[in-house]
Amino acid sequence: MAEKNRESQREEKKSDAVLLLNKGKRGLGRLIFGRTTMVLALLAVQTGLLFWGFIRLGEYLVYGGSLLLSLAVVLVLVNKPGSPAIKITWIILIMLAPVFALPLYLFVDLELGHRLARNRLAGIQRQTASLLPPPDESLRREAPHLAGLGEYVSRSGGYTFCRDSGAAYLPSGEAFFAEALARLEEAERFIFLEYFIVEEGYMWGRILSVLERKARAGVEVRLLYDGTCAVGRLPYQYPQKLESLGIRCKMYAPLRPLVSTHYNNRDHRKILVVDGKYAFTGGINLADEYINRRSLHGHWKDTAVLLTGRAVRGFTLLFLQMWNVSEAQEMDYLPYLDTSGPVEAEGWVLPYGDIPFDRERVGELVYMDILNRAVDYVHITTPYLIIGSELAAALTFAAKRGVDVKLILPGEPDKRTVFAVSRSYYRELLEGGVEIYEYTPGFIHAKTFASDGETAVVGSINLDYRSLYHHFECAALLYRCPAVGQVEEDFQKTLTQCSPVTIEDCKRDRPLRRFTGWLLRPLAPLL
């Protein structure tokens, strides 16, 4: 009998081993023959063909013709409006490798990949321009220095300073998560989510369970997330899965087997709107590292802001504009915009977005306006520091005229090459009087400005070229709101966990990191 039992156990173990082997084979098969692998392979083939075409083309180009064409493109670049740093990057590439860089520049400049989306979004903005309230004339009387900024932002996207709007600052991902769950539970009409990153795990699982329950109860739920950033985080068919749960879902610019400039313009926004009564924005995505359930680079420091009242309309419209870029039918926006009534609150709130399809750099110019008008201090948190000469000059000019300019950056980077380029700006800023600190517990992902106890910005906009020039972004500017003091208080608290960076530290930096920063800085606009 015992012998039979032992034989039975051996058979079970053999069966388990066979099942495990078969499961491994199936997993390997999905990895090799899965959609993402096939798409990446097709993209690699197309890229290889492009390189091969450029090389073959080069065999038939005489040196003089290539030189004249390069000179013509450089002259066009110099005379075009736009960032000098981006122009310099292209000029370097064209002069070093004209046969490769010239067709690449023409491919990017012709905007073949995103022209349709650009035209569609421009039409939507024209259609919705009159849906938000006109500027509040009381702002011109009480804060004339901000009225001009409000007019500029209004012309760029229709968004205006709002009174009767509340703002609550959330100093961590954990605080945002708890507040978001509470507000989601209150939803009765609609829930809109737009995020750069959504990843399965504890955070998204908790949110999804609420969304699924609300959808069954008749609440309209929509989710929009970035398609390229979803690779490796969510299955390609994930929107269909959510649709089966009653949740309308889209990817913005999903990865497809076609080389396109469309992939360069990511949807980096973070927006959550509940019933038009509550709106969240900030730096926090829907993944476990943002609430420190998973540690990738030490402690993850991030922030958000919860808005109520009339300012919520701006974020509702931002979401609907992006959602409708890929919609064939026009929609009635008003039912979603007439839900956010006034609340009793101090100060003004300016919700705004930035798009990469026009020449307006709204995110950068709002930051520069704060720096140029500051009297006492400007305190900044940002995960990256890859900036043009204009923003660098604004930072050092403010410091040289006596403004206390402080920046907090990560002590533990998430991207080492980008961190090396960021550190290449340190010495220039330090010599200009700017103070720089690194967050020693880990990675700081917050994007905040606080100035003079009156103005603060909380949003998704980093101090790097990707955010300032290439991505869809959003933020809320707060003026004379109680939350402004909360942003500054959190900055001071975070500062106690930071180490100051000195010029001597820059000199002692690792040679390989300094060389990497020096080598890649001319290509910074492409990072």
Mean pLDDT for all residues in the chain: 85
Question: What are the structure tokens assigned to 214, written together?
Answer: 């609300």
The percent of residues in the chain predicted with pLDDT above 90, rounded, is 52
CA nearest neighbour of 293 among 173, 171, 169: 173
Identify the band that residue 263 occupies on the pLDDT scale cut at 50, 70 and 90. Answer: low
Element spanning 405, H or E: strand 404-410
Instruction: Give the mean pLDDT of 341-346.
Output: 84
C-alpha to C-alpha distances, 422 to 337, 444, 449, 471, 520, nearest whole angstrom: 40, 14, 18, 19, 10
User: Which range is least confidently modeled, 1-15, 359-373, 478-492?
Assistant: 1-15
Residues 6+ apart with CB under 8 A from 428: 392, 396
Q: How far apart are CA 479 and CA 161, in angstroms?
A: 9
CA nearest neighbour of 437 among 491, 489, 484: 491
pLDDT for the residue 20: 42
pLDDT for the residue 231: 73
Q: Is the pLDDT of residue 147 over 90?
A: no
pLDDT for the residue 6: 54
Which residues are 473's β-sheet partners? 354
Question: What are the structure tokens assigned to 151, written together?
Answer: 């007019």
Backbone angles phi, psi at 39, to 5 degrees: -65, -45
pLDDT for the residue 51: 67
Instruction: Give the mean pLDDT of 456-468.
Output: 95
Identify the band that residue 210 occupies on the pLDDT scale cut at 50, 70 and 90. Answer: very high
Q: How far apart are CA 404 and CA 379, in angstroms?
A: 8
HEC-encoded secondary structure of 161-216: CECCEEEEEECCHHHHHHHHHHHHHCCCCEEEEEECCECCCHHHHHHHHHHHHHHH
Q: How far apart are CA 502 and CA 1, in angstroms?
A: 78
Q: How far apart are CA 325 and CA 253, in angstroms?
A: 11
Question: What are the structure tokens assigned to 45, written together?
Answer: 């083939």
Instruction: Give the mean pLDDT of 207-230.
Output: 94
Identify the band that residue 11 occupies on the pLDDT scale cut at 50, 70 and 90. Answer: low
Count of Cβ atoms closer than 10 Å to residue 26 Cβ: 10
CA nearest neighbour of 94 among 124, 71, 119: 71
Q: How far apart are CA 178 and CA 184, in angstroms?
A: 10
pLDDT for the residue 272: 98
Identify the band that residue 121 occupies on the pLDDT scale cut at 50, 70 and 90. Answer: confident
Cβ contact 393:428 at 8 Å: no
Cβ contact 288:481 at 8 Å: no
Q: Is the pLDDT of residue 375 over 80?
A: yes
pLDDT for the residue 259: 60
Dihedral sign from CA coordinates of 51, 53, 56, 57: negative
Core vs surface per residue 295-323: b (16+ CB within 10 A) or e? eebbbbbbbbbbbbbbbbbbbbbbbbbbb
Give the residue carrying structure tokens 């080389």.
259
pLDDT for the residue 154: 85
Q: How far apart are CA 344 and CA 166, in angstroms?
A: 7
Q: How far apart are CA 21 and CA 121, in angstroms?
A: 50
pLDDT for the residue 265: 83
The model's pLDDT over 17-65, given as tens digits with 9 standing for 90+, comes to 444 445 444 555 555 556 677 767 777 777 777 666 666 665 555 455 6
Cβ contact 260:112 at 8 Å: yes
pLDDT for the residue 177: 98
Give the residue carrying structure tokens 């080069």.
58
Radius of gyration of the chain (CA): 25
Which residues are 282's β-sheet partners? 304
The one-letter amino acid code at 288 reads: D
Question: What are the structure tokens assigned to 41, written together?
Answer: 């392979």
Q: Is the pLDDT of residue 125 over 90?
A: no
CA nearest neighbour of 179 among 167, 188, 189: 167
The model's pLDDT over 431-461, given as tens digits with 9 standing for 90+, comes to 999 999 999 999 999 999 999 999 999 999 9
pLDDT for the residue 509: 87
The model's pLDDT over 478-514, given as tens digits with 9 standing for 90+, comes to 999 999 999 999 999 999 999 999 999 998 888 888 8
Q: Which 3 state secondary structure label does DSSP give 66?
A: helix
Identify the band that residue 155 occupies on the pLDDT scale cut at 50, 70 and 90. Answer: confident
Question: What are the structure tokens assigned to 519, written together?
Answer: 């080598």
Residues 6+ apart with CB under 8 A from 464: 382, 384, 385, 386, 387, 418, 422, 527
pLDDT for the residue 394: 97
Cβ contact 312:475 at 8 Å: no
pLDDT for the residue 59: 55
pLDDT for the residue 387: 93
